[in-house]
Amino acid sequence: MKNDILTNETHPELRVFRLEMAHPGDVSRLAALLDAGTINASEVAAVIGKTEGNGGVNDFTRGYFTQSLFHLLARHSGTPSQQLQDSIPCILSGGTEGVLSPHYLVFVRTSAAAEAPAGPALALGKALSPVVPAQDIGRWAHVRSVADAVRAAMDDALIEHPGEVAFVQVKCPCVTSARAESAVAAGHSVLTADANRSMAYARAAGAFGVALALGQIEDDAQQEARLLADFSRFCSQASISSGVEVSVNEVVVLGHSRHWHGPLRMACEPMQDALDLSAVMTALGRLGLKPAPQLPPAESARVAGVLVKCEPDRRGHIRGVRHTMLDDIDINAQRHVRGALGGVVASVIGHGQIFVSGGAEHQGPDGGGLIAVIASVGNL
């Protein structure tokens, strides 16, 4: 089998460490785990986290954390920082509004002895696409590029069927003024040179790319017109970020594979709107957790990570009641909605180390989004 994480003596096992950070350059908690040998630097497969910036184009907390992380891993692994950065997805969402707390999930692919109890268990695969040219961003070529990377990540995870995929996290590049200028100089046209607009298109392309890889839509370039237009189309397993700091699609696939071992499982539920508390309950319930309505501490301790995508309803109303997020030029709408969803979800989970990310175009129902929970099934 091509994937070297399978051997005769051992089976892959995913471990997830949820670590706090004191500031965006603080990787001391991971450093301590590396120093202690709890984590082997070469087994770090992906990092997903929230930093305390504003989440916009001028949020440099993501770049700062990324630089700090890869310097640390380089020091521990002996591999140059840039080379690591080219193989380990580090997907960050800026903005810890309200009760949200800066933290990062370190996904470690380790191995269990072959006699470990059989799967299926939570599996992780990753892939980085080739560079996406500026002229492709937000177009069907971008959708295909994401889909290819998702398929590669599924292979990497030893996930055999789309139905086994629980959640796909993608970070897509976007067009910046500089990239737009280069592309135009080379005779290409870009969909938009506005970075914020381009990020939205990139997220849309990412969601369609995941849907394509999972067999939920056809590979039909005509569908390009649906991006940011037909919001009835969405993928409930796709969580997409976009940022100026990447030029390739970074993909992390999480799902359940019979080849993997360990206690972790994942549930992902679409959220109908920003107030869809029952989706939170359902996701937890599918993992055997019993919120009442808040998770008791012992249950909350079983939760390894929570990831939420959400969106300020672009029609200006939630359940018939006006919201003011879209017209506020003092606070960006995504900051507003992250703060609200942070409250909704953290009050159930019992703490604020929740990954809540805005920009949920085509990632769950229009005006809503999705919630994904990773938890240990404990002694079930």
289 contacts 347 by C-beta, under 8 angstroms: no
241 counts as catalytic: yes
- Is residue 305 close enough to count as binding its own copies by CB under 8 A? no
Q: What is the total residue count of the chain? A: 380
**Considering only residues 236-265, where is the footprint of its own copies by CB under 8 A?**
none
Say which residues have a Cβ less than 8 Å from residue 148's Cβ, sequence separation at least 6.
Answer: 129, 213
- How far is Cα 245 from Cα 379, in angstroms, rounded to an integer? 42
User: Of 182, 233, 350, 377, which lies in the binding site for its own copies, with binding defined by CB under 8 A?
Assistant: 350
User: 43 and 108 in contact (C-beta within 8 Å)?
Assistant: yes
What's the CA gap between 358 and 370, in Å, rounded? 11
Q: CA end-to-end span of the chain, whole Å?
A: 31
Catalytic, out of 77, 93, 241, 376: 241
The count of other CB atoms within 10 Å of the CB of residue 185 is: 8
Q: Which of 342, 365, 368, 369 lies at the binding interface for its own copies (CB under 8 A)?
A: 342
Identified binder of its own copies from the candidate list 85, 96, 145, 236, rule CB under 8 A: 96
Q: Catalytic residue, from 126, 129, 145, 171: name it.
A: 171
Is the CB of 129 or the CB of 353 nearer to its own copies? 353
Work out whether 228 is an interface residue with its own copies (CB under 8 A). Answer: no
Q: Tell whether residue 37 is a contact of its own copies (CB under 8 A).
A: no
The whole-angstrom separation of Cα 125 and Cα 167 is 11
For residue 93, state whether it binds its own copies (rule: CB under 8 A).
no
CB of 91 to its own copies, least distance (A): 18
Residues of this chain, 171-210, that bind its own copies according to CB under 8 A? 177-178, 195-196
Q: Tell me: does residue 304 bind its own copies (CB under 8 A).
A: no
Binding to its own copies by CB under 8 A, coded x per residue (else -) over 17-36, reads ---x-xxxx-----------
Coil, strand or helix: which one is 156? helix
By CB under 8 A, tell whether 320 contacts its own copies: yes
Nearest approach in angstroms of CB 2 to its own copies is 36
What distance lies between CA 162 and its chain's CA centroid? 18
Residue range at the interface with its own copies (CB under 8 A); choices 118-126, 164-172, 183-191, 321-329: 321-329
Q: Does 369 help bind its own copies (rule: CB under 8 A)?
A: no
The residue behind tokens 């993501």 is 62
Give Dmax (Cα) for the chain. 60
User: Judged by CB under 8 A, which of 137, 335, 363, 369 binds its own copies?
Assistant: 335
| Cβ pair 250, 243 in contact under 8 A | no
Can 171 be counted among the known catalytic residues?
yes
Tokens standing for residue 252: 């992390």
Measured from the CB atom, the residue of 11 and 62 that comes closer to its own copies is 62
Would you name the residues annotated as active-site residues? Answer: 171, 241
